């Protein structure tokens, strides 16, 4: 919540923006959307913290992404760590018409290979070679890594390790090279190193196959301060770097170049701007489909929030009361109308921001709790015991794993439950 503070003539600072009591607020603390969800969860929910995925809103976001990808003439790759539930991924993949996944974690990768035997999987970060070895040791099923999997590699040294692994396994590994297109999170940033890697691949055709490039550029859409460059200027620099690597490879390693290479780019913040270019063949998108609060970005203005935490109020105890201060605590609720009511919710302390009813806040002085968190609000909040408090996650990876099965809702009704990945 954005709370403003006004400086009074006396020099005192008064918290403004309190959700003061209005008779019309009594008994209806929610918007219609959350009022419906509250009723549904009280009637049919598990009455513990849950992660809701709103399928109507998710459909909208999938369609927005799909239209952009089509305009750009590209393919869509779903970022599995940002949508970490096979059921959720399967739902999105079906509506979006894609089988491409980007995976970041060996246990999830093994799971994907079994649950999605038709998938085309690109690893999103260079994994230690031992992780890759573990993948092969535990892999079962029809998914064929030598056709359907690309390992992302960043240095000649790691490539050498993967070559040794391929030789040991008697197989061929497909290699996608991580490019530093401006993020400076590692990856290849000069043609000398790129040349060394391509030479090694070219010299070992039985064990290594060049599969493409990955250049990730979230800073283009993350709203870096204007002084560092407009999104367009940053994007232009990304494409100069990406083009440079492609040109170098075509000219110096023409034998390795072919139609059908994976030229991957983007992420949620930047996928839209790639409509402008024809070089890359695909964009990766995950988080934008759920739009947690950190993705309230101008580049995602067409997206709507589709994931909410819901948790019941366990206790309602009136004005804030801090241990050790006891009676003196009253000053807080006198001073700040947003501390006139105190609720203890089931769970708490998540990477999330309060969403509904409006005007709720946690209490840092009392302390945060993952078990029963204190939440304060004004008397207008109108929450009763067993009403739900709704929050929006700030990100969509780890938080989604904290609630057990995801609850999919449509039209305000629970319609499906989807297990999440095990770590
Ligand atoms: C290599 C790579 N591509 C794409 C993404 C985009 O993921 P999302 O769309 O969930 O932001 C990420 C996120 O970390 C990434 O590391």
Q: What pLDDT was estimated at residue 4?
A: 34
Burial of 74 (C-beta count, 10 Å sphere; 0-12/13-18/19+): buried
End-to-end CA distance of the chain: 32
Measured CA to CA, the distance from residue 14 to residue 16 in angstroms comes to 6
The gap from C-alpha 29 to its chain's centroid, in whole angstroms, comes to 29
Q: Which residues of the chain are in CATH 3.20.20.10 domains? A: 55-291
Number of other CB atoms surrounding residue 370 within 10 Å? 11
Q: What is the H or E stretch that residue 43 is in?
A: helix 32-44
Q: What pLDDT was estimated at residue 313?
A: 98
Q: Whose Cα sits closest to atom 6 in ligand 1?
A: 267
Q: What pLDDT was estimated at residue 340?
A: 84
Q: What pLDDT was estimated at residue 28?
A: 60
C-beta of 124 in contact with ligand 1 (< 6 A): yes
Residue 178 alpha carbon, nearest atom of ligand 1: 1
pLDDT of the chain along its 423 residues, tens only? 333 332 222 223 333 444 444 433 444 689 999 999 999 999 999 999 999 999 999 999 999 999 999 999 999 999 999 999 999 999 999 999 999 999 999 999 999 999 999 999 999 999 999 999 999 999 999 999 999 999 999 999 999 999 999 999 999 999 999 999 999 999 999 999 999 999 999 999 999 999 999 999 999 988 766 667 789 999 999 999 999 999 999 999 999 999 999 999 999 999 999 999 999 999 999 999 999 999 999 999 999 999 999 999 999 998 878 777 777 777 777 777 777 899 999 999 999 999 999 999 999 988 899 999 999 999 889 899 999 999 999 999 999 999 999 999 999 999 999 999 987
Please calculate the CA angle 383-291-311 and round it to the nearest 5 degrees. Answer: 25
Q: What pLDDT was estimated at residue 298?
A: 94
Q: Which CATH number fits domain 26-50+305-419: 2.130.10, 2.40.37, 3.10.590, 1.10.10?
A: 2.40.37
Residue to substitute in 180, 214, 284 for testing ligand 1 pocket (most ligand atoms within 8 angstroms of CB):
284
Q: What pLDDT was estimated at residue 2?
A: 37
Residue 284 alpha carbon, nearest atom of ligand 1: 4
Number of other CB atoms surrounding residue 185 within 10 Å? 11
Looking at the structure, give the CATH architecture of the domain made up of residues 55-291.
Answer: Alpha-Beta Barrel (3.20)
Give residue for tokens 């089988």. Answer: 99
C-beta of 286 in contact with ligand 1 (< 6 A): yes
C-beta of 267 in contact with ligand 1 (< 6 A): yes
Give residue for tokens 């990406």. Answer: 242
Q: What pLDDT was estimated at residue 76?
A: 98
Q: Which residues of the chain are in CATH 2.40.37 domains? A: 26-50+305-419
In Å, how far are 23, 41, 114, 274, 310 from 406, measured between CA atoms? 36, 13, 21, 31, 11
Give residue for tokens 């006891």. Answer: 326
C-beta of 79 in contact with ligand 1 (< 6 A): yes
Provide the whole-model pTM: 0.92
Measured CA to CA, the distance from residue 146 to residue 129 in angstroms comes to 16
C-beta of 212 in contact with ligand 1 (< 6 A): no
Number of other CB atoms surrounding residue 164 within 10 Å? 12
**Strands 50-54 and 262-265, sheet pairing:** unpaired
Residue 268 alpha carbon, nearest atom of ligand 1: 9
């Amino acid at each position: 919540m954005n709370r403003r503070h006004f400086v009074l003539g006396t020099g005192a600072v008064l918290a403004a923006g309190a959700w003061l009591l209005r008779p019309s607020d009594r008994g209806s603390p929610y918007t219609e959307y959350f009022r419906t969800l509250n009723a549904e969860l009280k009637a049919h929910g598990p009455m513990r913290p849950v992660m809701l995925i709103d399928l109507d809103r998710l459909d909208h976001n999938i369609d927005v992404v799909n239209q952009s990808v089509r305009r750009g003439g590209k393919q869509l790759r779903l970022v599995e760590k940002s949508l970490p539930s096979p059921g959720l991924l399967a739902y999105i993949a079906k509506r979006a018409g894609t089988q491409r996944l980007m995976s970041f974690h060996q246990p999830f990768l093994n799971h994907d290979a079994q649950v999605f035997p038709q998938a085309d999987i690109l690893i999103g970060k260079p994994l230690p070679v031992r992780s890759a070895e573990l993948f092969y040791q535990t892999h079962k099923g029809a998914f064929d890594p030598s056709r359907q999997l690309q390992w992302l590699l960043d240095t000649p040294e790691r490539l050498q390790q993967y070559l040794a692994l391929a030789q040991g396994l008697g197989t061929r590994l497909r290699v996608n090279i991580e490019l530093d297109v401006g993020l400076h999170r590692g990856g290849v940033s000069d043609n000398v190193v790129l040349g060394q890697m391509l030479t090694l691949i070219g010299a070992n055709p039985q064990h290594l196959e060049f599969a493409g490039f990955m250049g990730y550029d979230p800073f283009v859409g993350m709203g870096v301060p204007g002084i560092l460059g407009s999104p367009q200027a940053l994007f232009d620099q990304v494409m100069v770097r990406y083009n440079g690597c492609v040109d170098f490879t075509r000219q110096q390693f023409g034998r390795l170049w072919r139609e059908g290479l994976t030229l991957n780019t983007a992420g949620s913040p930047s996928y839209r701007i790639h409509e402008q270019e024809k070089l890359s063949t695909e964009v990766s998108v995950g988080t934008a489909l759920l739009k947690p609060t950190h993705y309230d970005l101008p580049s995602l203005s067409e997206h709507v929030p589709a994931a909410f935490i819901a948790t019941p109020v366990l206790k309602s105890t009136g004005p804030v009361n801090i241990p050790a201060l006891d009676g003196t605590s009253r000053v807080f609720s006198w001073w700040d109308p947003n501390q006139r009511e105190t609720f203890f919710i089931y769970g708490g302390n998540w990477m999330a921001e309060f969403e509904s009813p409006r005007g709720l806040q946690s209490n840092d002085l009392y302390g945060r709790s993952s078990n029963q968190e204190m939440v304060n609000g004004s008397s207008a909040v109108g929450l009763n015991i067993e009403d739900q408090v709704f929050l929006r996650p700030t990100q969509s990876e780890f938080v989604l794993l904290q609630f057990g099965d995801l609850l999919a809702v449509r039209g305000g009704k629970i319609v499906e439950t989807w297990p999440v990945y095990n770590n």
